[in-house]
Amino acid sequence: MPLCAHELTHYPEAPLRIIKIGHPTLRAVAQEVSMDEIMSSPFQNFLEDMIDTLHQSGGVGLAAPQVDVSKRVFVMESGRNVPLTVVINPKVEYLAQHGKKSSTEGCLSIPGKRATVQRYNRIHMTYLDRNGDQISEEATGFKAIIAQHEYDHLNGVLIVDVMDLMEENNSDYVSVPLL
Ligand code: ZN
C-alpha cells in the first residue's frame, strides 16, 4: 500500500526529551522541511510539543535537533521583546556593517555552563512560518542573538565551537539566557 511522504516521518512523543552535548544529532546538519510536511498534522503537533518544551525548560529558544529531530526548525520566545516565533527553513544573512557584540549564553543541551560568544547586532532572516507563509525580516537585539544561537544548532554548531570563554553557570548568573 503506498504511503504519503509525511506518513513516513515520525516525531518523538511528548514530552520531548532535550538531548545533551555528545549526542550525534546535535552535530548533524539538519534537513529542510517540505511544504507537504509543514502542512501535515504530525508536524503541526510536533511544533506544539516544541513550544510546550520551550516553555517548560525556562529557555528562550529551542531548535528541533535539540529534541533529536534533525529538521531545520526552531522556536523562540522571550519576555525581553521577542514574541513566540516559529522559524522553518531559515536563511540568515549577517549584517556585518552593524557590528558585533559579546553575548553570554547558556544552552539547554550543555547543562551547567555558560559561554561568551560574539554575535552580530543585526541580521536579515527569511523563513517559513507555521502556516508555510514566507517571512522576511530584520532582527536586532535579543531576538537576533536567539536566532543566531538557534540557527547554529541547525548547522550542527554549538556555543563551545564559537565561544571566547566558557565558565560554570552558577547561581550568581541566573539571568543568563538558555537557548
Ligand atoms: Zn543551544
pLDDT digits (tens, 9 = 90+) for 11-42: 999 999 999 999 999 999 999 999 999 999 99
Is residue 13 annotated as part of the catalytic site, yes or no?
no
Can you give the pLDDT at residue 174?
Answer: 57
Query: What does the pLDDT average to over 52-74?
Result: 97
| Cα 123 to ligand 1 centre (Å) | 18
DSSP letter, residue 132? S
Can you give the pLDDT at residue 173?
Answer: 55
| Cα 2 to ligand 1 centre (Å) | 38
Can you give the pLDDT at residue 154?
Answer: 98
Can you give the pLDDT at residue 7?
Answer: 47
Q: Considering the entire predicted model, what is its pTM?
A: 0.93
Q: Which residues surround ligand 1, an ion (CB under 5 A)?
A: 107, 179
Query: What does the pLDDT average to over 142-170?
Result: 92
Can you give the pLDDT at residue 6?
Answer: 46
Runs of H (alpha helix) within 30-90:
35-38, 41-57
User: pLDDT > 70: what percent of the chain?
Assistant: 93
| Cα 76 to ligand 1 centre (Å) | 11
Q: Which long-range contacts (CB under 8 A, 24 or more apart) does 37-43 make?
A: 37/5, 37/6, 37/9, 38/88, 38/128, 38/130, 38/132, 39/132, 40/6, 40/9, 42/6, 42/9, 42/10, 42/11, 43/6, 43/9, 43/11
Kindly state the helix (H) or strand (E) to which residue 39 belongs, with its residue range.
none
User: pLDDT > 90: what percent of the chain?
Assistant: 85
The one catalytic residue in 13, 150, 167, 168 is 150
Buried b (16+ CB within 10 A) or exposed e, 21-50: eeeebbeeebeebeeebbebeebeebbebb
Is it the case that residue 2 has pLDDT exceeding 60? no
